[in-house]
Amino acid sequence: MNVNNDFLCEAPPALAPSSSRTGRSGVADATAEALRTRLLSLGRPAGLRVAENGVRLDESAQDGAVPALLPEAFGDPSFLRDYGVRFAYYAGAMAGGINSEEMVIALGAQGILSSFGAGGLGVERVRSAVARIKAALPDGPYAINLLHNPGQPDWEMACVKLFVDEGVRVVEASAYVKLTPAIVYYRVAGLEADGRGGVVRRNKVIAKVSRREVATHFLMPPPQKILASLLAQGLISPAQAELAARVPMADDITVEGDSGGHTDNGVLACIFPSIADLRDEIAAEQRYGFGIRIGAAGGLGSPQSVLAAFALGAAYVVTGSINQACREAGTSEAVKTRLGQATIQDVAMAPSADMFELGAKVQVLKAGSMYAVRAQKLYTLYKQYERLEDIPEAEIRNLENALFKRPIDTVWAETEAFFTSRGNLAPLEAARSNPRKKMALLFQWYLGQSSRWAIAGDTERAVDFQVWCGPAMGAANEWLRGSALEAVSERRAGVIAVELMRGAAYLARVQFLRHLGVAVPESWLRYRPGTAR
Ligand code: FMN
């Protein structure tokens, strides 16, 4: 662009009518407003002229210009192409169908990728979701989540078989520590030679990680040992096993900082560059002949944070917490209302239901719920005692009255019924010979039910709601306050997505103006929803 040197003067020209920095006055309010309005008109460049009394909008652009920047321009264009989407953005999975069929379909219809929250659902429920989503979006875009749970390898494999049979082409793989036969099978079952020496990767994997060790597994080709076993079972062909050596496990790595649900509470600004570097190292070694994109998740609830993620180099951005308060989310109005009032600080780490024995934690909404405190109490008892019988009688009564609201024996009977109905008998067998395991399963009844009470909006259990949520929720509430999207009843995931991206584009243009040396009023560095076009 053509910027003359006067324009890039050390003491930037003032835009504001009476900038305290320069003591200048004279830019009429109307002129400043015209420039700001132009910055909000994302597709139109803003030509600038340096006048005696500051910078003003000028179509002839003698002294520089802020270029057009549409939200579609953010991120890696190959993300848009590969997934057939409009934005380098996707809505991450929310287990238990909270990222629901409705959400996936509504976002998909707008050309935005969304990942159905299959975690915690029975295979038949996942099957019906896949059928409904496919019927509504036969050509996509959509993704289905494969949430690893070390205690349920059969569920994971059954889901993958379903995905392969039904032609599900995008899987968001998460909570992995190492690779499992199921995720490797999904990836490799989609490999084909393209006839020109390349490999077609039909089954796309977006791996969500927060650590380098886990990222490494997905940046590398599938491990030989798992390939050999899949081959022996006849699940993959010898040709696919060979092709597998030439592709990484994932097409995309979503680096997740401090987020709702399972999280290492990582700082995105630290872990993103680290994993991007790791990708560069592995890609240089492996010479795949195509790139592996790195996206960013965790803490994104305002246009500023979305812009920051793209500034880190994100190929795409991912939201989670903020979508749970939207109309399409598969959870209760009671939960959405609570989420809509949350502040940034209203979150806490609490024991997780699925990896309770390992001491894993999830980030939850603290406001209005005793879940974090009560689940922690159960974990403390689990660590302190070898078996239920060792826990003092008074403590047991307390649990029965306050948490379970039923006798321990009934809780156990319900636990048995749950696992039996899912055909998952291994935990019950383990509990028979291991009293500590039995105690864990019994405590997990509360941890598991508390999510269901929240989804169902069970008012009698309102103080026990387990609602996964990160600080992004409070950030979004602050951003949306006073706008047409303040009430959760008005929030739609697609509208929020577009507003976040538009806001980021507007803010990027304001930053551009700053980079030109213009003193921009602080108030311009905020984006009010609904104002950009
Ligand atoms: N990520 C998954 O990969 N699988 C899940 O089942 C899953 N469930 C979630 C449930 C809730 C209620 C929330 C808030 C998040 C969940 N996540 C899950 C993480 C999101 O997909 C997303 O990566 C994360 O929320 C982004 O960070 P944020 O919460 O700061 O926006």
From the alpha carbon of 120, which atom of ligand 1 is closest? Answer: 6
Atom from ligand 1 closest to the CA of residue 93: 21
> What is the whole-number distance in angstroms between the Cα of residue 283 and the centre of ligand 1?
28
Distance 322 CA to ligand 1 centre (A): 10
**Which of the listed residues 297, 331, 365 is the one where a domain comes to its end?**
331
Residue 457 and residue 407 share a domain: yes
Token readout for 216 is: 């490494």
- On whether residue 123 sits in a domain, the answer given is yes
Q: Same structural domain for residues 217 and 240?
A: yes
Query: 296 alpha carbon to ligand 1 midpoint, in Å?
Result: 12
- The alpha carbon of 103 and the centre of ligand 1 are apart by a number of angstroms equal to 14
pLDDT at residue number 250: 98
Structure token pair of residue 12: 């930037």
* d(CA 449, ligand 1 centre) in Å: 19
The number of the ligand 1 atom at minimal distance from the alpha carbon of 322 is: 31
Same domain? 446 vs 489: no
Domain count of the fold of the chain: 3
Other Cβ atoms within 10 Å of 169 Cβ, number: 18
Closest residue by Cα to atom 8, ligand 1, is 94
**Ligand 1 atom having least distance to the Cα of 469:** 14
Which mutation among 218, 254, 468, 469 tests ligand 1's pocket best, with the greatest number of atoms within 8 A of CB?
Answer: 468
Do 47 and 76 reside in the same domain of the chain?
A: no
Amino acid 51: pLDDT? 77
The burial of 481, by beta-carbon neighbours within 10 Å (0-12 exposed, 13-18 middle, 19 or more buried), is given as exposed
Per-residue confidence (pLDDT) for residue 7, from 0 to 100: 36
Q: Are residues 64 and 80 in the same domain?
A: no
- Ligand 1 atom 9 nearest Cα: 94
Do 43 and 129 sit in the same domain of this protein? no
The H or E element that residue 33 is part of is helix 29-40
Last residue of a domain, which of 285, 308, 331?
331
193 and 122 part of one domain: yes
530 CB contacts (<8 Å, ≥6 apart)? 483, 484, 485, 499
Name the residue of 116, 256, 259 to mutate for ligand 1: max ligand atoms within 8 A of Cβ: 259
Range of the structural domain that residue 273 is part of: 72-331
Atom in ligand 1 nearest the alpha carbon of residue 91:
21
CA of 530 from ligand 1 middle (Å) equals 26
Q: Are residues 33 and 129 in the same domain?
A: no
Ligand 1: list residues with CB < 6 Å: 92-95, 98, 117, 119, 145, 147, 172, 174, 208, 256, 259-261, 297-300, 318-321, 324, 468-470, 472
Who's near 52: CB < 8 A, 6+ residues apart?
26
Instruction: Report the nearest-CA residue for atom 16 of ligand 1.
Output: 94
Q: What does the pLDDT read at residue 15? A: 52
Q: pLDDT at position 150, please?
A: 85
526 belongs to a structural domain: yes
402 DSSP assignment = I
Pairing of strands 293-297, 204-209: unpaired
Cα-to-centroid distance, 261 and ligand 1 (Å): 6
At 110, list the tokens: 């707008």
- Answer yes or no: is 452 within a domain: yes
Gap from CA of 382 to ligand 1 centroid (Å): 27
Q: How far is the CA of 259 from the centre of ligand 1 (A)?
A: 7
State the pLDDT at residue 83: 98
CA 295 – ligand 1 centroid, Å? 14
Q: Are residues 113 and 259 in the same domain?
A: yes
Res 450: pLDDT: 97
Q: Which residues contact 225 (CB under 8 A, 6 or more apart)?
A: none
Taking the CA of residue 117 as reference, the ligand 1 atom at the shortest distance is 6
pLDDT tens-place values along the chain, 533 residues long: 444 333 333 344 445 444 444 433 223 356 788 999 999 999 999 998 877 777 888 888 667 899 999 999 999 999 999 999 999 999 999 999 999 999 999 999 999 999 999 999 999 999 999 999 999 999 999 999 999 988 889 999 999 999 999 999 999 999 999 999 999 999 999 999 999 999 999 999 999 999 999 999 999 999 999 999 999 999 999 999 999 999 999 999 999 999 999 999 999 999 999 999 999 999 999 999 999 999 999 999 999 999 999 999 999 999 999 999 999 999 999 999 999 999 999 999 999 998 899 999 999 999 999 999 999 999 999 999 999 999 999 999 999 999 999 999 999 999 999 999 888 888 999 999 999 999 999 999 999 999 999 999 999 999 999 999 999 999 999 999 999 999 999 999 999 999 999 999 999 999 999 998 888 899 999 999 999 99
User: Is 474 within the bounds of a domain?
Assistant: no
Q: Which of 245, 320, 254 is nearest to 79 (CA)?
A: 254
**CATH number assigned to the domain comprising residue 245:** 3.20.20.70
149 and 211 in a single domain? The answer is: yes
The pLDDT value given to residue 54 = 78
DSSP code for 45: -
Q: What is the residue with the minimal CA distance to atom 4 of ligand 1?
A: 93
**Shortest-distance atom of ligand 1 to CA 331:** 12
Q: How far is the CA of 171 from the centre of ligand 1 (A)?
A: 14
Residue 316 lies in a domain: yes
Last residue of a domain, one of 413, 429, 464: 464
Alpha-carbon span 4 to 62, nearest angstrom = 8
Considering the domain boundaries, does residue 475 fall inside one?
Answer: no
Calculate how far, in angstroms, residue 93's C-alpha sits from the geometric centre of ligand 1: 6
Residue 129 · residue 136 · CB < 8 Å: no
Residue at 471 is within a domain: no
My answer on whether 272 and 166 are in the same domain is yes
Query: Is there a single domain that holds both residue 1 and residue 99?
Result: no
- Residue 387 CA to ligand 1 center (angstroms) comes to 33
From 104, 174, 218, 253, mutation site for ligand 1 pocket: most ligand atoms within 8 A of C-beta: 174
Determine the length of the chain.
Answer: 533
Q: Is residue 476 part of a domain?
A: no
**pLDDT value at position 30?**
61
Q: Measured from the CA of 208, which atom of ligand 1 is nearest?
A: 3
pLDDT for the residue 517: 85
